[in-house]
Structure 1
Amino acid sequence: MSNPYTDTLTINSNQMQGRLSAWLAKHKLAHRPLGFDYQGTETLQIKSEDWASIAVALYVYGFNYLRSQCAYDVAPGGSLASVYHLTRIKDNADQPEEVCIKVFVSREDPRIPSVLRIWKGANFQERESYDMFGIFYESHPCLKRILMPESWIGWPLRKDYIAPDFYEIQDSH
């Protein structure tokens, strides 16, 4: 039985699998290559339950900078995605190696391990993804709303979100 996360692609393997994907496969770390974006950045899909261990492996590999983390709603009623752009900065800062990691989760139970302990820059970015999409970053020390008021109901950037007709702003004093 084939597993898309551990099997290497036989069709278009040269186009889909990059250097990092080959390294992860060599070390038997579960992932799925998604090809390259328009700038040539390798994109990988990681299962939520594998993300914590793979994040540590990527840090050990040399990806020492979290350039950005964001989230998006794939489709109304579909899955949610948390996207991490990692950079490997060494002495040759002019040519840093980059990778894009996508972690897809179901909207019914959107849980992803936090990478705050690995990359400190994930703090506010994971909080924003929680606030806008309702993705719970497990073991995040301060996972609470950052843009919306604490009393806000729902996740405003989900495609199935229904905006309230009226929201009362509380007095600031």
Structure 2
Amino acid sequence: MNTTNRNKFNIETRGRLSAWSTRHKFSHRPLGYDYRGVETLQVKSEEWLSVAVAPYAYGFNYLRSQCAYDSAPGGSLVSVYHLTQMRDQLDQPEEVCTKIFVSRKNPRIPSVYWVWKSSDLQERESYDMLGIIYQGHPHLRRILMPESWVGWPLRKDYVVPNFYELQDAY
């Protein structure tokens, strides 16, 4: 494949945010588009905080959702951020999805609480269910499970205890 065709291919497969990030030297990997046509990018954990400021500056001022999942037993944990551009009188706001893959042995991702305050409870839930540590988060503690709970219930290698302590309802 010659250089012209290779450049044409890269431009066609990259979305607007990926092209903008490349021009401004923000490290990422384009993952294509989801079933709704939303551009998906992969970012390294250690670069996430500096890269997160770029979509915010580009106009993605609303964190629609943050979630996490276990990609496979023994595999990576993934933190997913869905960002939206909110403007006046915009019928279909532009969206982008960013994924950060981390090792399950040391799952650390910088928190974007200081960029999007709405990540507060969402990052806490990902921590509580999967054990991803969001560094710099001001309130990182369990939100759904009791503080004494051992393990991360949504990990695919989680062993469910064979007993549950009943709580006094009175």
Structure 1 residues 77 and 19: alpha-carbon distance in aligned structure 2, compared to 1, 3 A threshold: same
Is there any run of 5+ residues in structure 2 with no aligned partner, and where? 1-5
2:3 aligned residue? none
TM-score under structure 1 length normalisation:
0.90
Identity of aligned residues (%): 67
- Mapped partners of 1:26, 1:102: distance in 2: 20
Q: Equivalent residues in 2 for 1:55-94 (5 A)?
A: 55-94=52-91
Q: Equivalent residues in 2 for 1:92-111 (5 A)?
A: 92-111=89-108
Q: Equivalent residues in 2 for 1:38-53 (5 A)?
A: 38-53=35-50
Deviation at 1:58, TM superposition (A): 1.2
Which digits, 9 at most, give the CA deviation of each residue in 1:18-74, with x for residues without a partner?
111000000111000000001110000000011000111111111100000000000
CA contact under 8 A between 2:129 and 2:152: conserved in structure 1?
yes
2:121 aligned residue? 124
- Mapped partners of 1:134, 1:153: distance in 2: 11
Is there any run of 5+ residues in structure 1 with no aligned partner, and where? 1-8
CA contact under 8 A between 1:15 and 1:35: conserved in structure 2?
no
1:85 partner SS:
strand
1:155 partner SS:
coil
**Bigger share in helix:** 2
After superposition, the CA RMSD in angstroms is 1.6
Query: Following TM superposition, where does structure 1 have runs of at least 4 consecutive aligned residues deviating by more than 6 angstroms?
Result: none
- Residue 24 of structure 2: which of 18, 27, 38 is its match? 27
2:131 aligned residue? 134
- Mapped partners of 2:140, 2:21: distance in 1: 30
TM-score under structure 2 length normalisation:
0.92
